[in-house]
A and B are shown apart, each in its own frame.
Chain A
């Protein structure tokens, strides 16, 4: 599989502070990658760079086209983004109109718009909110509406920037399962940016960023073994990874086991 996102030798300064220096990153097509790093490590800046909202002189290639003025519009149509605070993204007076906004801009016909909105809002369990005013919703509901808006354009890449922080844990689990489905059936590439490593368990790959550098990268089972690296940047390991490492040290298991059910069965055969 080819890389759907390629960033080479990215250098970026903001307010005289070095955010990225000689930063390289490749994201495989159809992968589900979690990008994790402490507050202020440059995660959100990275998305703005990928979307061309912040212009840089480095080599950035999205879905086989170079990020430059001529390609900007085409590239942005392939990417659905959900930011942490959905209040900044709402434009219309009802949830329905809000989700329709980008589709209308892309000149889809009314029937198609209606069809897609119904499909994705039913998926996410927010169909009953369509006539509501976005500002009257709870934080978690707002985040789900923002997610629906990103999904209806049927993007090739979905970028989540702390996008489900206000959603209750139960709803969050359901939502991640839906995203895993879309990832499998539609070969959707998902980039999930978070500082909660617990969320990385829903994905496959993990990229760890600190001070503008990729310090660790790979399949989650391998990356999560690096307890020291995470201690150094002040990020807690997921509970199951942390427990596995301790049990491994005492010889009770021989690898990281992230599924609680599996772990209990293995310990008490």
Chain B
């Protein structure tokens, strides 16, 4: 599904003394069927940006095109729920919003509340669980008794139940230990590869974004200041430094070798590959 920002600005409390510009003239297009990372410091406008995609917010100026919908000031989207079925948004710490005593009720709640049309609500529920690699034995379990990583998966499943084409995740791995984190990263990649979802991940964790993203946007003070593949982005430590963003450790190393010794050892995703490169250069 196409997601395109055309000259989008967003101002909170517009035309009041409290007005605050959160986004300035954004022109971007997210990559279809890819994992798009958005990185930026606190207050850079990351959360505002994604809330424009599923029309929780309406742009002050400009348009956001989301498939057949257009989110634009003064033109109300008819049947905004349909848009939200297409674009699933998973907030930070989603497990804090649980309130049912079984996983099944938790997943079904959203479908009923938004009057989602489906012939077989039970099947949709198990399918969603399957997509996050949990079996039906979880259906009757209490979500509050699950581990942090499992709770996160249930929250994702309750959005997958709507069969969205786009999934937006706000800090999906925050607060998880590295085991659960790596597991969730694998899962998000699988949602892209196996189910062809377009994915947008917001985070300040550059190491996680490096592992997960195909394409990255850098936000600073409400403006897109850089976009490109992770190699294009993270090979510019000086530029990123201006925006208060660090490089992932593994790319930091290559950057430092280049800076200190003038040797280009190249960029690697895996530490074993990096080690082999070092071996070749040093021996």
Residues of A within 8 A of B (CB): 38-40, 84, 138-141, 162, 165-166, 168-171, 195-198, 233-236, 238-240, 242-243, 246-247, 250, 252, 260-261, 264-265, 267-268
Chain B nearest CB from A173 CB (Å) reads: 8
Q: What 3 A-B pairs come out closest when comparing CB atoms?
A: A234-B179, A239-B249, A195-B177
**11 further A-B pairs in the complex, CB-CB below 8 A; given A166-B174, A252-B282, A260-B252:** A138-B43, A141-B42, A170-B41, A195-B176, A197-B178, A234-B178, A236-B178, A239-B207, A250-B279, A268-B261, A268-B263
- Digit string of B167-188 for contact with A (CB within 8 Å is 1, else 0)? 0000000111111101000000
Choose among B180, B204, B272 the residue with the greatest number of A CB atoms under 10 Å from its CB.
B204
The residues in B between 247 and 270 inclusive whose CB is less than 8 angstroms from any CB of A are 249-250, 252-253, 256-257, 260-261, 263
Choose among B178, B180, B257, B263 the residue with the greatest number of A CB atoms under 10 Å from its CB.
B178
Q: Is B275 an interface residue (CB 8 A)?
A: yes
Selected from B42, B182, B244, B256, the residue in CB contact (under 8 A) with A139 is B42
Docked pose: A166 CA to B202 CA in angstroms = 13
Interfacial chain B residues near A38, Cβ < 8 Å: 177, 179
> In the complex, are the beta carbons of B275 and A243 less than 8 A apart?
yes
> In the complex, are the beta carbons of B179 and A235 less than 8 A apart?
yes
> In the complex, are the beta carbons of A260 and B42 less than 8 A apart?
no
11 contacts between A and B (CB under 8 A): A40-B148, A166-B42, A195-B176, A197-B178, A233-B179, A235-B179, A239-B250, A239-B253, A243-B275, A267-B278, A268-B282
Selected from B178, B205, B263, B278, the residue in CB contact (under 8 A) with A247 is B278
Contact count band on B: 35 or more
The residues in B between 175 and 215 inclusive whose CB is less than 8 angstroms from any CB of A are 175-180, 182, 204-207
Docked pose: A195 CA to B275 CA in angstroms = 25
Interfacial chain B residues near A246, Cβ < 8 Å: 271-272, 275
Chain A nearest CB from B264 CB (Å) reads: 13
Q: Is B62 an interface residue (CB 8 A)?
A: no
Docked pose: A251 CA to B172 CA in angstroms = 38
Considering only CB atoms, which chain B residue lies closest to A170 in the complex?
Answer: B244
Chain B nearest CB from A256 CB (Å) reads: 14
> In the complex, are the beta carbons of A168 and B204 less than 8 A apart?
yes
Interfacial chain B residues near A196, Cβ < 8 Å: 178
Q: Decide: A168 near B271, CB < 8 A? Known: A139-B42, A264-B257, A268-B282.
A: no
Q: Is B55 an interface residue (CB 8 A)?
A: no
Selected from A165, A247, A250, A261, the residue in CB contact (under 8 A) with B175 is A165
Q: Decide: A268 near B257, CB < 8 A? Known: A168-B42, A235-B177.
A: yes
> In the complex, are the beta carbons of B204 and A169 less than 8 A apart?
yes
Interfacial chain B residues near A198, Cβ < 8 Å: 249
Chain A nearest CB from B281 CB (Å) reads: 8
Q: Decide: A170 near B43, CB < 8 A? Known: A243-B275, A261-B256.
A: no
> In the complex, are the beta carbons of A138 and B256 less than 8 A apart?
no
Q: Is B1 an interface residue (CB 8 A)?
A: no
> In the complex, are the beta carbons of B41 and A168 less than 8 A apart?
yes
Docked pose: A166 CA to B252 CA in angstroms = 22
Chain B nearest CB from A179 CB (Å) reads: 19
Chain B nearest CB from A223 CB (Å) reads: 16
Q: Is B274 an interface residue (CB 8 A)?
A: yes
Q: Is B246 an interface residue (CB 8 A)?
A: yes
Selected from B177, B252, B279, the residue in CB contact (under 8 A) with A39 is B177
